[in-house]
Every structure is written in structure tokens, then in C-alpha cells.
Amino acid sequence: MTTIVKTDPVRPSNDSVEAAAEVIRRGGLVVFPTETVYGLGANAYSREACLQIFKAKERPPDNPLIVHISDMGMLKEVAGRVSSEILGKLERVWPGPVTVLLQRSERIPDTVTGGSALVAVRMPDNILSLELIRKAGVPIAAPSANISTRPSITDSRHAIEELDGRVDFIFDCGPTAEGVESTIIDISGRECTLLRAGAKPVEELEEIFGPIRITEFSRGLLESTVPLAPGMKYRHYSPRKKLYLASSRLFAREVSERSEFLGKILIIGSEETCAKSRLDCISLGKEADLDEVARNLFSALREFDKTQCEIGIIQPFEERGKGLAVMNRIRKASSGYTENLDSLRTYLN
């Protein structure tokens, strides 16, 4: 049976956090909010507890988990030797939506890292999650709190719909602030590499870490055969219905104005695209406001599944700032790419 507790993530009930911390200590699973998405957490030091995460999510065992910490002292427990220079840089981005890859300590089981010698670590910028980690007294390993391949959870109502009965405890705290997962960078070697675009724009991270190499994996154009971090392998973020990425914003608008597709195709796009659409449409927000687009993306994918339309067409967005993360998620969620009306007619047939 799942315990569901409603509380304010900024001023959480002390009793609720203590109850959830006890679940973590005894090897159970807790769904909790961060500033990015909801996480599905367990004691990062317990192989058995972390195995339950994979079972609850139906997640492949080689897909690594992110270890969430509450202070720099805990970092020294989960990672190997970290230089004072790196510590100084991390203090500038934490708490925040940034995950880094470091050499793991012996306390972290293979279950957490997918067998890798590197561990993904972050300190969330969320009062409730930090209090939960502190009270539990252990770092918390947590992927996003959704069934594997499904859109990530950015609102507790979706967590309850999807995980009630699969986990021990769910915090019901409403929507999260960022709407997309943390940015993941590998800082374990000489070169800093972006592994997953996320809520913290690369442009801002380069001011701290220097040049960051942007990989095809981080843009969602390729899948890695050996996933060093979440989001690098396997299908992610997908609605149950077929979703296709339009070749351009203009083509998405062209489709939206074709009444022949009424009731068959749903458009997911900007406020500007939806304003002229003759078809059913879900707006992600103003085209220039990529923060808003990011916040609304996963909820829109879940809303699409509840419509009567056969397929969805989603417009592309500019790959700057959070737009890089938005396009990574859209590419991962899409079943394919469409650039002409004939291909759409084929998809419908």
C-alpha cells in the first residue's frame, strides 16, 4: 500500500519528511519533488533497495541512477577524490539542476552506476528533497518517477496515477519548477562533456567549467551503446500514441491549417502555432519563452495520450538555452520525423 502525503515543498511538514526518511532508511521507495522533475528514490548505499527502483519503473538494469546529496560532506562519501578546484566549481552550481560524473567511491554499488566506475551526483535545489536526504542520513539514488519510456513526472497527480501501488510513499506537492531534468556533464577527465542537456543551459555552465563538448547523444540524435548517464540509451519520454517531429515550425503550421486532418492529428506547438490551428492543439507557451515550453512539455505529452486523435505532430524549437534540452526530449519522445503531407497520410493509413 502506498502512503500519499500532501505538503508544501517549500515549507514541508516535518512529520511527513520524517516518515518518508524512515521509508528510505528501511530500504523502501519514496517519490519526491525536486526543482526539475519528481524522483523515485531509495538508499544509494543499498543494492537491494536500488534494485526495487528498477523493478518499480520497469527500467533496464544498465541505465544508471543519479545520486542525490544534501551537502558537500556527503559528496566525499559517494565520490572518489575530488580536487579543491572542482569543489569550488560545484559550490557555484549546487544546489541546482546540474549533475556531474565523478569517480565513484566503494560505497556506491554497481546497481547504481550500471557497472560503470563513474557515478552521477547532484544536489537538488528543493527544500523538501534536501530535508529528506538529511533526515534519511544517506544519499538518495533516484531516476525520474515514471514508468520506463514514459514522459517524466512534473506534477504529483501524474506520479500518483502511475506509481500508486508500486512504491511505499509519494509526496503530493503539485508541479515542479523547471519541468525538465538536470543537465548532466562528465567532469571526470580532462575534457568537460555534455551527456544530457537539461534545466541548466550549457552557456551558463561554460562560464564556470570552461568549454563543454556537446555530443550527438546530448542532443538526442544518437543513442549510446554504453550509457554513462541517464538519457543516453533506450527510448525515453514517449507518449503511448505516435508522435512525429515536424521538419520545421513552418511545416507544423502548414499541417495545423489542413482541415482534412481534423480529429486525426493533434498539434503540439507554441502559442503562436496553436493560435492559427484548425486542428486540436496543445500549446507549450510562447515561442520565445523556452523556460515555459520546457515546463509544459511533459504534461503536454501526457495530455496528448488522453485525446481522441490518432497521431501527434510536434514543432521544433530553437536549440539555445533550455531549447537544447527541449529538443533532446522531443527527439527522444518522437517515433519519427515528417517533412511533407504525403508522409503524414501514410502514418494515418
pLDDT tens digits, residue range 199-240? 999 999 999 999 999 988 787 776 655 556 665 555 678 899
Domains 3-214 and 242-348 belong to one CATH topology: no
pLDDT at residue number 52? 97
Mean pLDDT calculated for residue range 262-267: 96
pLDDT at residue number 271? 97
Q: Which of 233, 313, 320 is nearest to 270 (CA)?
A: 313
Domain 242-348, CATH number (from 3.40.630.10, 3.40.50.11030, 3.30.930.10, 3.40.720.10): 3.40.50.11030
> With 80 as the cut, is the pLDDT of residue 324 above it?
yes
Tally of helices (H runs) and strands (E runs) in the chain: 13, 16
> With 90 as the cut, is the pLDDT of residue 178 above it?
yes
Mean pLDDT calculated for residue range 28-53: 98
Model confidence at 54, in pLDDT bands (50, 70, 90)?
Answer: very high
> With 90 as the cut, is the pLDDT of residue 250 above it?
yes
Burial of 62 (0-12, 13-18, 19+ CB in 10 A): middle
pLDDT at residue number 14? 96
pLDDT at residue number 218? 81
Calpha distance 305→311 (Å, rounded): 9
Q: Find out whether the peptide bond into 211 is cis, omega within 30 degrees of 0.
A: no
C-alpha cell at 198: 537539461
pTM of the model: 0.93
Q: Given CATH 3.30.9.10, say whether it is the number of domain 3-214.
A: no
Percent of residues, the chain, with pLDDT higher than 90 = 86
Model confidence at 167, in pLDDT bands (50, 70, 90)?
Answer: very high
Burial of 15 (0-12, 13-18, 19+ CB in 10 A): exposed
The structural domains of the chain, with segments of one domain joined by +, span 3-214, 242-348
Calpha distance 84→307 (Å, rounded): 53
DSSP state, residue 260: G
